[in-house]
Amino acid sequence: MVSVAVDVGVDVLGSRKVTVGGVVRSAATGCAAGVVTLGVGEFIGVAADAIFGLQDAGTIAPTGVFSVYESYNAAGDVQYVGITNDIARRAAEHARAKGITIDPISGLSGNLSKYDAHGVEQALIDFYGLAKNGGTLLNRINSIARSNPNFPAQLQRGIDLLRRVGYPGF
């Protein structure tokens, strides 16, 4: 049994970070105190999960308006992944510029924060690989720079979301 008391301070206009401090008390181990600083998008995703949790298997608590989408080649392999806040507009742009069609990923359409969407996109880029590195994706760059200090947490969040919606391979 774990009980948690959390005190949250938000300085959205200043640092764009959320500091979460609290005390976690465990019946088995006693108690510990901790302070964690998260990006605003990550905090919103974690807070929404804590408040709403999973409603049904394969669904996630909505944290924003972003979607993650993918495109398939003639052989049925994923050839491109991306994020958008307007799937119809982005589909028209891809059709015109690249001649490809895109499909939103089930469970990850219109319900993600930008932070979460980038995490999912990066997890898919790592999974399929960029073509320039021997992978299948036409994407030219990573969604998140590996030098970004939030890279590990954001990537893990993306992996967790893909698992929750039952994306194959996760």
Give the bridge partners for 130, in sequence order.
137
Percent of the chain topping pLDDT 70:
65
The 8-class DSSP code of residue 105 comes to P
Question: Stretch 129-151: mean pLDDT, rounded?
Answer: 97
Question: Stretch 105-110: mean pLDDT, rounded?
Answer: 96
Q: Is the pTM of this model over 0.85?
A: no
Q: Is the pLDDT of residue 43 over 70?
A: no
Rounded to whole angstroms, how far apart are CA atoms 120 and 161?
A: 7
Q: Is the dihedral of CA 134, 136, 137, 142 positive or negative?
A: negative
Rounded to whole angstroms, how far apart are CA atoms 27 and 3?
A: 9
The answer to whether residues 20 and 6 touch, using CB atoms and an 8 Å cutoff, is yes
Rounded to whole angstroms, how far apart are CA atoms 170 and 164?
A: 9
Calculate the alpha carbon distances from 86 to 22, 93, 104, 110, 120 in Å: 37, 11, 11, 8, 17
Q: Is the pLDDT of residue 27 over 50?
A: no
Rounded to whole angstroms, how far apart are CA atoms 76 and 119?
A: 24
The 8-class DSSP code of residue 142 comes to -
Question: Stretch 70-86: mean pLDDT, rounded?
Answer: 97
User: Which pLDDT score, from 0 to 100, does residue 62 have?
Assistant: 87
User: Which pLDDT score, from 0 to 100, does residue 53 have?
Assistant: 44
Q: How confident is the model at residue 60 (pLDDT cuts 50, 70, 90)?
A: confident
User: Among 30-44, 74-88, 108-122, 135-149, which stretch is predicted with the lowest mean pLDDT?
Assistant: 30-44
Cα–Cα nearest to 121, from 151, 79, 158: 158
